Structure 1
């Protein structure tokens, strides 16, 4: 019998992210408490730049962006928000989108599966994803449940289950 497998990935749906950013931008433009403070949200493919005239306002813009991402079904673990910093008379926060599993996180996933998962399961790091194989589909299902319950710094999706 052939081995069954699935891939563990961590990807952001770019269209959903762009929709969340557009919704956040509209809300920031319309809200009364953001009038006259230079609040702005700009999107450049895989990162965001939030601007406002004070540190409190730029943090409020970040809260708006985070709420829109949650409403669009994107986990906040996928956002990599930096610290507010001053640039002239305005404060900025750079927010990156995590896309793919880093080598360090892939090693954590494989270690977790090796230590706590079923013994028949084998893992293999393939670029920015992890392939999990086993002869038993039940063991693969148990591995998925283990990874869903694990407290990792990334949001995991499971694809190509065969």
Structure 2
């Protein structure tokens, strides 16, 4: 039976490449001269440091731009609370959302079952396995999931006939 997996993954190497580009841009921009702004990657977590909140906002915008160019959508990022560091310096932690949480998976399963499509959906950890008798049913299921308007970006992998 044909099947495919619905997943939500982030390529950590693309995050590291984007951060190196951000640091290069911060080093060359005039408005960051003499600033102690920096961005550090730790697997799927990014830590941003800046002199004040205005600089942190600029760093965040630069980071989002570089991540989008690398194919990481803003919906995959979860921005933490802005914390104060020494003096007026601030820091913020950004985590990349990986995997589909239970609530979202249940919502997708319920919607697919209510759609009258001839597919079966199984939750397998942090991903969904969708199976059906025909390839057309699976393609209709992908289109249905895309139309649901889910904030978190999803990928459709392991399409097997």
- TM-score (norm. length: structure 1): 0.92
- How big is each residue's C-alpha offset from its partner over 1:23-67, in whole Å with a ceiling of 9 and x where there is no partner? 111111221111223111011111011111111110110110000
> What does residue 141 of structure 1 align with?
139
Match of 1:6 in 2: 4
SS at match of 1:94: strand
Q: Which residue of 2 is the match for residue 131 of structure 1?
A: 129
2:159 counterpart SS class? coil
Deviation (angstroms), 1:13:
1.4
1:151 maps onto 2:149 in alignment = yes
- Distance in 2 of aligned mates of 1:15 and 1:48: 12
| Matched residue, 1:47 | 45
Task: Report the CA distance between 1:117 and its aligned residue.
Answer: 5.5
In structure 2, how many angstroms separate the alpha carbons of the residues matched to 1:70 and 1:147? 22
TM-fit CA distance, 1:130: 0.2
Secondary structure in structure 2 of the residue aligned to 1:8: strand
Q: By how many angstroms is 1:98 displaced? A: 1.0
Task: Give the 3-state SS of the residue equivalent to 2:100 in structure 1.
Answer: coil
Which of 33, 36, 58 is equivalent to 2:34?
36
| Dislocated runs of 4+, deviation >3 Å | none
Change (3 A) 1:141 1:85: same
CA contact (8 A) 1:132 1:140 kept: yes
Once residues 43 and 79 of structure 1 are traced to their aligned partners in structure 2, the CA distance between those partners, rounded to angstroms, is: 13
Aligned residue in 2 for 1:20:
18
* Residue in 1 that maps onto 2:95: 96
Structure 1: which 5+ residue stretches go unaligned? none
